[in-house]
Chains A and B, each alone.
Chain A
Amino acid sequence: MPVRERETAPAPPVKTRRTNKRRAADIQQLLPLADDAPPSVSLPSQTGAAATRRLWFCVYLPNLPLESCGAGKEPLAVLEDQQGIHRVQLANTAAENAGVMPGQSANAALALIPTLQLEERSTLREQQALESLAAWLEQFSSFVSIAGNDVLLFEVAGSLRLFGGLPALRQQVSAGLEQQGFAASLAIAPTPLSATWLARGGRRACIREPTNLVPKLRSLPLSCLEWPPAISEALTGMGIRNVGDCLRLPREGFARRFGAGRLIELDRALGRLPDPRASWRAPERFCADYEMTGEQSDQELLLAICRELLEAHEQFLLVRQLGTLRINFSFFHLKAPATKLSLGCTQADRSSKRWSDLLTIRFERLALPEPVIAVRLQGGHTQALQTGSGHLPFTGRRHATQRHSMTQLAERLAARMGLQSVNGVTTVAEHRPQHAWCARNLLSAKVSDALSFVRRGLRRPLWLLPEPTLLHAEQGRPLHLGRLTLVEGPERLETGWWDDNGIARDYYTAINSRGMRLWVFRNRNVAAAWYLHGIFG
């Protein structure tokens, strides 16, 4: 910046200090000339500012305390505690028509309208409303910033093409804000500070070129700057009424009197200094509440509410390209503690249809002890979502999404009957028949197509009894629904001595008089007793 000043200012013929000529040079430097010289290549910062043209969209919400309480036609006033007395800070149109003015005490307002609804001003509520609005604005831009209590900024230069131009984008934003019940003042400018000032000034300005900035800023009143009252009073006392007058003041004197910070602000607004902003991102976890006006115990209505929350959750995940594995529902009651319902999924998913299918199954079995007054949805940990492309219609019935739908089927079955009722199987390299297999959890996150051990050898029965059953013997021959005739065998299995489940058995295949083929064995160590272990299907 100092380099530029030297370039544009006329070089004084005689070097004098604190002369009028120097003063004139100062004045000229505060105000950019009408036709600026093109920035030279040796100034990297200037080139950077010209190369990346940014466009900032500012949303100023003057009535945020009122709007965060909810919209309504009834008279509503927001109270603020000033020196121990509750005074009206803001009142909605219905209340103002009846005569309620900001600054009145609460009693006076109630005397005017007995049915007036009074709300304490809650900065937390306003912050939440601001954050939810910022989350909604994320669909228009990748850079959203919250500046102060009532100002939202987002950068739109990159989104213009997607939304079909600036007027269309502006139209969408204002329509959306109106629909949500926020009366906002919008402004678009090349720098964030100037956009904020213009929005505060109520100008529906749309400035795309930085060169057009100064003429528009000149007529803004000083209240748009929101500087401390001491400074504004001092400026008013000096005869400065608007921002244009401020810009004509000499830089050094201004900085000395009011602080270098104010000078930097002016420079940032005009685009001479960079103005980095912190980007705001909505928190990774989704949490939404639905409060009902009365107590409800109608299942259909509760399910419909839950589905609405699930759709909001899906939208949240869609914007961030995330999926979640778990969703927690909490149903609040007046007197009883909250009932919690947790839904899990093996693959991170965001589709509200899949979650609502699972919810419907679980909801039937849920016993609510009392009527419900509020429902809360909390999304679990999120992770990046892998989505596959769709399939052409003629590739045949069974395609690669079959595994995906098998996990969906397993989830549905497990949702109704419990996780332990649904499983797959795999073989284990073991000689002991009981341990030669193990159950496989189909719903575990890692889908492992592990090679199961292939057994070669004698035939094994298709049915295995969980525990071998003792057979009665008659004259040394085993009996099971008829006398057994040993057909094949013996197969000696003597193994497992390393843990306590060692076996030493002779296995035989036997047929009884009814034609059943059975797998029986006899222990070698203890007294010869026959056991039935399996049935050949």
Chain B
Amino acid sequence: MRRNSSSTNESLNTLLENPRVWRGRNPAPVQAGLSTGYKKLDRHLPGGGWPQQSLTEILVEQYGIGELQLLMPALSSLSVDDPLAPYAEPGWIAWIAPPFQPYPPALQQWGINLSRLLIVRPKDASEILWSAEQALSSGTCAAVLLWPEKLDDQSSRRLQLAAEKGQSWAVAFRPRSARHEPSAAALRIEVQASQQGICLDVFKSRGGRPVTLHSIFSSISSS
């Protein structure tokens, strides 16, 4: 028996040493992410937070189930002064083509600096993408939230490149039907409401693994 197990071990080892076998547990070096504010989510995202300098897609069917609440702690951390760089100013947050009016008193309650807020209302779809690209590549916006009418593969790649150039974080909100469309975003999350609270389906994560998380926060509680 022992001889059999040792021989199986040896054959297993030789098999594993074959370069054609990909070992999925190698951690790829990944940039530190922006902490989401929710520990359960942080654990499952590569880099421990939202991917910086790239595009994140959030797919949501109904507004109001907590999709903005998911981002609020990260956005408020961007609004405060960075203690490590005393001469730095907090970056701006740009909202491009939001579906309703972002309500300033509520934003203030979440801790976002209102003097660093930019709201842009373009007239058509091409202008939405153009202004997002301008805002991302200018380097003055720390985060850009946009609600594009349609975002194809090429446009998402351009936004990704603009985010890398300007070192900003882009978040695009799309309907759930876009799940099966290809996209160049680094992180794609589908948000659904359920009885226990928010259900997040991270189905694409660059440097991490797809995971489904339940009850990150309860939609009833307002923390």
Question: Which A residues form the contact surface with B (CB < 8 A)?
Answer: 395-400, 402-403, 405-406, 408-410, 412-413, 416-417, 421-427, 433, 436-437, 439, 442, 449, 452, 454-455, 459-466, 481, 487, 511, 514-518, 534-537
Query: What would 15 A/B residue contacts be, using CB atoms closer than 8 Å?
Result: A409-B138, A409-B140, A412-B134, A416-B127, A421-B120, A421-B122, A452-B104, A452-B108, A461-B103, A462-B68, A462-B72, A463-B100, A463-B103, A517-B64, A537-B69
Task: Tally A-B pairs: CB < 8 A.
Answer: 167
A537 to B88 Cα, complex, angstroms: 30
- B7 contacts chain A at the CB level, 8 A cutoff: no
Which of B68, B98, B115 has the most chain A CB within a 10 Å cutoff?
B115
A contact residues around B222 at 8 Å (CB): 459, 536
Q: How far is the CA of A73 from the CA of B220 in the complex (A)?
A: 87
The interface bits of chain B over 57-70 (1 if a CB of A lies within 8 angstroms of the residue's CB, else 0) are 00000111111110
By beta carbon, the residue of chain B nearest A452 is B114
Shortest C-beta distance, A406 to chain B (Å), equals: 5
Are A417 and B69 interface neighbours, CB within 8 A?
no
Contact, CB under 8 Å: B104 / A425: yes
Given A421-B120, A511-B219, do A465 and B100 touch, yes or no (CB 8 Å)?
A: yes
Complex: how many Å from CA A406 to CA B118?
9
Binary contact track B91-105/A, C-beta < 8 Å → 1, others 0: 110000011111111
Contact of B65 among A395, A417, A462, A516 (CB under 8 A): A516
Report the nearest A residue to B119, measured CB to CB.
A423
Q: How distant is the Cα of A449 from the Cα of B117 in the complex, in angstroms?
A: 12
Question: Given A399-B88, A402-B89, A413 and B131 touching (CB < 8 A)?
Answer: yes
Task: Identify B64's interface contact among A406, A423, A487, A537, CB under 8 A.
Answer: A537
B69 CB → nearest A CB, Å: 6
- Interface positions, chain B 9-36, Cβ under 8 Å from A, are none
A426 near B114 with CB under 8 A, answer: yes
Known: A466-B101, A537-B63. A396 touches B194 (CB 8 A): no
Given A421-B121, A514-B193, A536-B64, A396-B101 contact (CB < 8 Å): no
Q: Does B37 sit within 8 A of A, measured CB to CB? A: no
Whole-angstrom distance from the CB of A381 to the nearest CB of chain B? Answer: 28
Q: Which of B118-172 contact A (CB under 8 A)?
A: 118-123, 127, 130-131, 134-135, 138-141, 167
Contact B134 A516 (CB under 8 A): no
B109 touches A460 (CB 8 A): yes
Report yes or no: B114 in contact with A425, Cβ–Cβ below 8 A: yes
- Decide: B134 and A409 in contact? CB cutoff 8 A: yes
Instruction: Determine if B100 and A535 form an interchain contact, defined as CB atoms under 8 angstroms apart.
Output: yes
- Assess the A460–B103 pair: CB atoms within 8 A: yes
Residue of B with least CB distance to A421: B121
In the complex, given contacts A452-B108, A463-B98, A516-B62, what are 10 additional A-B residue pairs having Cβ atoms less than 8 angstroms apart? A399-B87, A410-B118, A417-B121, A452-B104, A452-B115, A464-B101, A515-B62, A515-B65, A515-B219, A537-B67
Please determine whether B193 and A405 come into contact, CB atoms closer than 8 angstroms.
no
B107 on the A face (CB < 8 A): yes
B106 sits at the interface (CB 8 A): yes
